Amino acid sequence: MESISLHPVNDLPLINPGDDLGRLILDGLFKTVGVNEGDVIVIAQKIVSKSEGAIVDVSKITPSKQAQEIANQTGRDPRLCQIYLDEAKEVIAIKGRMVITRHRLGFVGSSSGVDRSNIAPHEAGMVVLLPKDSDRSARSIRDYILEKTNKKVAVIINDSCGRDYRGGSVGMAIGIAGIGAIEKKVKKDLFGNESCNQIALIDELAAAASILMGQADEGIPVVLIRGVSFTVTEESSIKDFLL
C-alpha cells in the first residue's frame, strides 16, 4: 500500500439501547465519505454496547463477599467490584486501585472492560459493559452494509486498553468481521534475507482510528480507513488473535 486515509464519521446521534446501529453508521458514512469495496470501518465499543443495552445500574447490584474484599483492597465501590467479577473469567491481579481480570471474552485488562464514561452523569450510577459477543456485533454491521451497498468492507470494534509493562492506554481490536486477525507476510528484507512477519494489523488500525476518536467529548465513534491491504475472510474471529 502506498498510502491510507482516515475519515471521521461526524454527527452521529447519541446512541440509545435498541437503536439500529448499522443504519445509523451507514447514514453517517453516506453523509461524509461514502463506502468503497475494501474499506475498513472502525467502531468504538461504547456505541455498540449502548445499542445492545449492555448498561448496568450500579444501585441495583448486591456485592458478594469477594467483591467486598476487593473493594477493601482497592478503595473502589464494592458494587463496581461485583460487576468486574460478573464480567470476568478470573481475577489475575490487584495493583493499587486496578483490578486486572481476564474478561469472559478472553481479553486481559483492568476492570473487566467496565466503564462509566460517556454514558450518563456519574451521579446516575450507570456503567457500560463490553458486548456479549463482539465478533457477532461486527458481523451484523458488516452484513447490513453489504446488504444495502453490495460492498464488502471490514469492520473492527475497538476499545481503549492498557498494555503489560507499559503506561497509558491504546486502541485495540475487540471484535472483527471480514478481516484476518493476523497478517502473515513472507518477504525479503533490504539485504535479501527472507523475513517472515506476523502483523497485528487489526490492532494497528484500531489504534490509528482511536487518534481521531479521542477519549472525551470528541463525539467521533466511527472512523473509516481507506487504502489498507488486508486479508479478506468470512471466518475471522478475535479469538484467533488471543493467546
- The residues, any chain, with a CB within 8 Å of residue 69's CB and separated by 6 or more, are none
SS3 category, 118: coil
SS3 category, 207: helix
DSSP string, 150-184: ----EEEEEEEEEETTEEEEEEEEEEEESS-SSEE
Query: Is 171 within 8 Å of 209 (Cβ atoms)?
Result: yes
In the prediction, which pLDDT does 217 show? 58
pLDDT, one tens digit per residue, over 1-38 is: 679 999 999 889 999 999 999 999 999 999 999 999 99
Same domain (yes/no): 80, 200: no
Distance, in Å, from the CA atom of 230 to the CA atom of 65, rounded to the nearest integer, reads: 48
pTM of the model: 0.93
What average pLDDT score do residues 117-128 get?
Answer: 85
Domain boundary among 73, 95, 128: 128
**Torsion sign (Cα): 154, 127, 239, 168:** positive
What average pLDDT score do residues 125-131 get?
Answer: 95
In the prediction, which pLDDT does 164 show? 77
- Does 83 score more than 80 pLDDT? yes
- Does 218 score more than 80 pLDDT? no
Among residues of the chain, what percentage have pLDDT more than 70?
Answer: 98
Domain boundary among 75, 96, 128: 128
Distance, in Å, from the CA atom of 192 to the CA atom of 141, rounded to the nearest integer, reads: 42
Same domain (yes/no): 209, 174: yes
Identify the CATH number of the domain in which residue 71 sits: 3.90.1660.10
Same domain (yes/no): 162, 208: yes
Same domain (yes/no): 145, 174: yes
In the prediction, which pLDDT does 216 show? 57
Backbone angles phi, psi at 227, to 5 degrees: 100, 10
pLDDT, one tens digit per residue, over 53-62 is: 999 999 999 9
In the prediction, which pLDDT does 94 show? 95
Structural domain span for residue 110? 55-128
Same domain (yes/no): 142, 218: yes
What total of structural domains would you count in the chain? 2
Domain boundary among 96, 128, 160: 128
Q: What is the mean pLDDT of the chain?
A: 93
Q: Cα dihedral angle (116, 118, 123, 128), rounded to 10 degrees? A: -40
